[in-house]
């Protein structure tokens, strides 16, 4: 299986980092904004109404009320709370200001693009669109009835989340494919939760014929479809189908860098995880998730009235956390773990592939140590005793934020089980799930007045050894939650 070779080849070790120090070619930094030039551009109304439903309720599976609005306002609201620019940051030495978005991205490089197919949305022309976050507008790439894949979909809105791997590879080399997959997981959850907050449901589809979707959407060569997300529900304002013949505008994709470097491992893992022989392979059922229990029963989760609108737009990655004495409560941790463990709505999500391990440094009522989370019984099993701050930072490539946080996490993926069910494609699904869990951690932390940061950089083998993991399990993502230090460079 190629996923295993890719995963092994992209593990961080002290030697690999020393052997291949990566210097950044600033002149070639990819543009974080894709435009399909020369197509009609439709305005999405500015300042759409903020979803007032509490964020923690959305994370627990509740839906917000149905907004009464036209299609353009609905789409504006959906995208403003899932994919839009939400703040900016200033480089102090030059004064240069760059954009931050609702969805996070490793290195803020944003490999993910949002395309959507609209059908029968009230006062909105049927067609295929690309979201332009730089101006909060929709580029109309085709007008009419566009099918994303054979067999089609009856959903009025189908999103196609794509990755431009070069954006991430420019900085992170071959390991970047992992981060692109995480970013898709974050973007998926950002979309799913925003949809829920405005009263509709989503279903993610990971199992689709890649080449066919790329061709039908006439994607630029550097963009690959990664996940389809169908949105349904009575809150989507519907009208009649409003156009006849399909008219393609397509548009000219902007060039993101003067030059592009090829990364052989990325090409290999992408090819291996594509479904080209789609017709012959259906989606199969994964073996059940291992279950267990621990000696610590988690208390009922803490609550918060902070609204989804506020939490989604204010979410930021903490640069670091205030070390000090301030602890978070066990009920807050319980709320965060409950949000992380709710089932996902996806064709690959029958059985979870990720197990959470945590290192609580400062959680009231929980002794410092390393613990395994058992979500079905809402219990923690202590697997190590003692202060883990130095260990957690050390395992996260020496990043101090993992030690200064109140709690750090290792997400452990059962890559073998995913591959047994889905072949190499399963490698994508495990990382989507990790990114999606990460997004819920971000929003739950923000709702509770805490901050969070996703951590894609860790010493793979050291984590494996430290947690005494069985051979089939692999660390796929790290995370940290605590009290963020103020970042004076950020403006909302």
Ligand X SMILES: Cc1cc2nc3c(=O)[nH]c(=O)nc-3n(C[C@H](O)[C@H](O)[C@H](O)COP(=O)(O)O)c2cc1C
Residues that bind ligand X (CB under 6 A): 100-101, 104-108, 179, 182-183, 186, 316-317, 399, 453-457
Comparing CB distances to ligand X, the nearer of 71 and 456 is 456
Comparing CB distances to ligand X, the nearer of 306 and 489 is 489
CB 371 to ligand X: min, Å: 22
3-class SS letters over the chain: CHHHHHHHHCCECHHHHHHCCCCCCHHHCCCCCCCEECCCEEECCCCCCCCCCEHHHHHCCCCCCCCCCCHHHHHHHHHHCCCCEEEEEECCCCCCEEEEECCCCHHHCCCEEEEEEECCECCCCCEEEEEECCCCEEEEEEECCCCCCCCCCCCCEEEEEEECHHHHHHHHHHHHHHHHHHHHHHHHHHHHHHHHHCCCEEEEECCCCHHHHHHHCCCCCCCEEEEEEEEECCCCCECCCCCCCCEECCCEECCCCCCCCCCHHHHHHHHHHCCCCHHHCCCCCCCCCCCCCCCEECCCCCCCCCEHHHHHHHCCECCCECCCCCCECHHHHHHHHHHHHCCCCECCCCCCCEEEEEEECCECCECCEEEEEECCCCEEEEEEECCCHHHHHHHCCCCCHHHHCCEEEEEEEEHHHHHHHHCCHHHHHHHHHHHHHHHHHHHHHHHCCCEEEEECCCEHHHHHHHCCCCCCEEEEEEEEEECECCCCCEEC
Comparing CB distances to ligand X, the nearer of 1 and 457 is 457
CB 458 to ligand X: min, Å: 8
Comparing CB distances to ligand X, the nearer of 174 and 183 is 183
CB 192 to ligand X: min, Å: 16
Comparing CB distances to ligand X, the nearer of 388 and 453 is 453
CB 120 to ligand X: min, Å: 34
CB 268 to ligand X: min, Å: 21
CB 492 to ligand X: min, Å: 11
Comparing CB distances to ligand X, the nearer of 35 and 313 is 313
Comparing CB distances to ligand X, the nearer of 232 and 489 is 489
Comparing CB distances to ligand X, the nearer of 39 and 436 is 436
- Whether 274 and 211 have beta carbons less than 8 Å apart is answered as yes
Comparing CB distances to ligand X, the nearer of 203 and 405 is 405
CB 400 to ligand X: min, Å: 10
- Whether 191 and 346 have beta carbons less than 8 Å apart is answered as no
Residue 326, both tokens: 């301030």
CB 89 to ligand X: min, Å: 8
CB 479 to ligand X: min, Å: 9
Comparing CB distances to ligand X, the nearer of 97 and 281 is 97
Measure Cα distances from 340 to 208, 220, 321, 431, 435 in Å: 26, 34, 21, 14, 11
Comparing CB distances to ligand X, the nearer of 243 and 319 is 319
CB 216 to ligand X: min, Å: 28
Round to whole Å and give the CA distance between 81 and 197: 9
CB 195 to ligand X: min, Å: 20
């Amino acid at each position: 299986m190629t996923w295993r070779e890719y995963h092994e080849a992209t593990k961080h070790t002290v030697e690999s980092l020393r052997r291949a120090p990566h210097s950044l070619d600033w002149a070639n930094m990819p543009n974080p904004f894709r435009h399909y030039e020369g197509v009609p551009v439709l305005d999405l109304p500015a300042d759409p109404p903020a979803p007032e439903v509490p964020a923690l309720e959305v994370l627990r599976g509740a839906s917000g009320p149905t907004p009464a609005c036209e299609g353009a306002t609905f789409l504006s609201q959906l995208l403003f709370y899932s994919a839009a620019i939400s703040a900016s940051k200033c480089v102090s030495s030059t004064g240069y200001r760059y954009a931050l978005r609702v969805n996070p991205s490793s290195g803020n490089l944003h490999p993910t693009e949002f395309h959507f197919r609209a059908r029968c949305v009230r006062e909105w022309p049927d067609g295929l669109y690309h979201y332009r976050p730089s101006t909060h507008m929709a580029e109309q790439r085709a007008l009419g009835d566009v099918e994303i894949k054979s067999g089609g979909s009856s959903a009025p809105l189908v999103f196609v989340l794509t990755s431009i791997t070069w954006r991430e590879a420019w900085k992170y080399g071959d390991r970047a494919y992992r981060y692109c997959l995480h970013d898709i997981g974050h973007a998926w959850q950002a979309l799913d939760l925003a949809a829920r907050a405005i009263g509709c449901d989503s279903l993610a589809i990971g199992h689709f014929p890649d080449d066919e979707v790329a061709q039908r959407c006439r994607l630029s060569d550097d963009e690959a479809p990664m996940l389809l997300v169908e949105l349904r529900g009575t809150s989507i304002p519907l009208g009649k189908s409003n156009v006849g013949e399909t008219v393609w505008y397509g548009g000219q994709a902007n060039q993101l860098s003067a030059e592009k470097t090829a990364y052989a491992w990325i090409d290999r893992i992408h090819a291996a995880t594509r479904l080209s022989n789609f017709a012959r392979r259906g989606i199969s059922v994964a073996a059940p998730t291992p279950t267990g229990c621990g000696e610590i029963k988690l208390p009922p989760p803490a609550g918060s009235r902070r609204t989804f609108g506020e939490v989604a737009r204010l979410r930021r990655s903490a640069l670091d956390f205030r070390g000090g004495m301030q602890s978070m409560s066990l009920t807050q941790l319980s709320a965060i773990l409950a949000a992380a463990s709710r089932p996902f709505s996806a064709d690959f999500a029958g059985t979870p592939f990720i197990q959470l391990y945590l290192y609580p440094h400062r959680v009231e009522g929980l002794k410092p140590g390393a613990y395994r989370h058992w979500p079905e019984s809402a219990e923690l099993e202590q697997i190590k005793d003692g202060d883990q701050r130095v260990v957690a930072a050390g395992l996260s490539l020496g990043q101090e934020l993992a030690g200064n946080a109140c709690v750090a996490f290792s997400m452990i993926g059962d890559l073998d089980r995913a591959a047994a069910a889905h072949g190499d494609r399963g490698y994508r699904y495990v990382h989507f799930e990790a990114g999606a869990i990460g997004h819920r951690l971000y929003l739950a932390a923000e709702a509770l007045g805490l901050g969070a940061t996703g951590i894609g950089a860790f010493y793979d083998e050291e984590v494996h050894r430290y947690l005494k993991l069985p051979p089939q399990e692999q660390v796929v993502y790290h995370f940290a939650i605590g009290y963020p230090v103020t970042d004076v460079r950020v403006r909302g």
